[in-house]
Amino acid sequence: MGLHELQKDVLDKAETQSAVVLSEARQEAKEILAKAKLEASALAKQSEEKALAEASALKAEHLASARLEARSFESNARNKVVDEVFVELKNEFKDFASTKEYEKFFSKLVSNARKDLGQDGVILANKKDQAMAKKLGKTGEVLDSIGGVIIASSDGRIRVNSSFEALLEEKSESLKQAIFEELFSPKTTKSSKKKKELKK
């Protein structure tokens, strides 16, 4: 075999080997690319699922926060209305102190307070009620009050407070609860009660 033929044979083998290596490399590249695409797709899906879960959790958190804020706002609004009605109730007591019925009520407050005190005691009333108080017994200091009375023992150590402010304060929680229920509790009308009875 001559030199020329030897060179040709080496080149042919090199080309054949090169073609095989190149084919294997292309095949390996295809496999790597296919695997990378699968991994990228799985990663993208995983990322999307994670993002959706986070978005859902964030949405739920914002929704819960918004609901809580709405409930707080509603509760504050209701309490404000109840407080305003309570102030109106106080004004009604003030108006009542200017009626004819008030004198009898005032006398009854004095009588009940004296029973609780166990003695006559000194009558403390506001400036407007001083004339009524004097008719019922010994009077003392003038109260800064919308109405009602305080009966004090002669030494001033024991007091029975039946002023309108004290009566309202004592009953404020139950009055506010009653106002709240009247304004905001669902009401069952007589007609709906009758309908329920008829259905039975």
116-163 pLDDT, tens digit each: 887 788 999 999 999 998 998 888 889 999 899 999 988 878 889 988
pLDDT score of 130? 92
pLDDT at 2 over 50: yes
Distances in Å between the alpha carbon of 14 and those of 2, 19, 20?
Answer: 18, 8, 10
Q: Domain 97-184 in CATH: superfamily? A: ATP synthase, E subunit, C-terminal (3.30.2320.30)
Q: What is the pTM of this model?
A: 0.54
Contact 121, 153 (CB under 8 A): yes
Angle, CA of 86, 90 and 95, to the nearest 5°: 140
pLDDT at 191 over 50: no
DSSP state of 98: T
